[in-house]
Amino acid sequence: MSDERRVLLGRIAGVFGVQGWVKVLSHTQPLEAIFTYRPWILRQRGVERVVERIEGKPQGKGLIVRIPDISTRDAAEAAIGTEIWVPRLLMPAPRPGEYYWVDLEGLRVLTVEGVSLGRVSHVFATGANDVLSVRDDARERLVPFLMDSVIKRVDLDAGVIEVDWDPDF
């Protein structure tokens, strides 16, 4: 399972009670949608394990989850920071003009003049917009993911993103 593309859906952010329940920070919309994806691939400090069954429910403004082998508060505390990943193939197709970050990673980035800027190493959010980290052998460029003004074309089949961006910036 380690060679397939994955999507980070959330992480264990805290403990709830004394019976091993954990608080989960979900990146899905709505938050409860995280419960519909299985299996979860839990990753903590480079170690992964697959979880097929979980019990989860809304609690206050967040979510709580019981994971089968976490049954004490101490075990729940030890799990804080664990990332929750799912195989990309489980995710619904994005709407036109929308992309999963994992689908952009590795794509070649070319300017509208055809100058290669490198490949997308990762994507991150800034609050104002998402940003592509584009790397080549010499440097890293941070390119705002602003459709139409900066991002001119995304061709997943060809593996290319075309940008209106100064190669020297």
d(CA 25, CA 34): 10
**Is there a contact between 54 and 40 (Cβ–Cβ < 8 Å)?**
yes
**101-163 CATH fold:** SH3 type barrels. (2.30.30)
Report how far apart, in Å, the C-alpha atoms of 72 and of each of 57, 67, 78, 96, 163 are: 18, 11, 10, 44, 51
Would you state the structure tokens that stand for residue 24, as one six-digit string? 């989960």
pTM above 0.85, yes or no: no
Length reported for the chain: 169
- pLDDT digits 0-9 by tens, 118-150: 999 999 989 899 999 999 999 999 999 999 999
pLDDT at 1 over 70: no
What is the CATH architecture of 6-90?
Beta Barrel (2.40)
Q: Which helix (H) or strand (E) holds 96?
A: none
**Could you give the strand order of the β-sheet that contains 108-111, starting from the edge strand earlier in sequence?**
140-144, 130-135, 116-125, 108-111, 160-163, 151-155
- pLDDT digits 0-9 by tens, 65-109: 999 999 999 999 999 999 999 999 998 899 998 999 999 999 999
Q: Which helix (H) or strand (E) holds 109?
A: strand 108-111
Answer whether 6-90 and 101-163 agree in fold.
no
The residue written with tokens 């519909």 in the block is 36
Domain residue extents for the chain: 6-90, 101-163
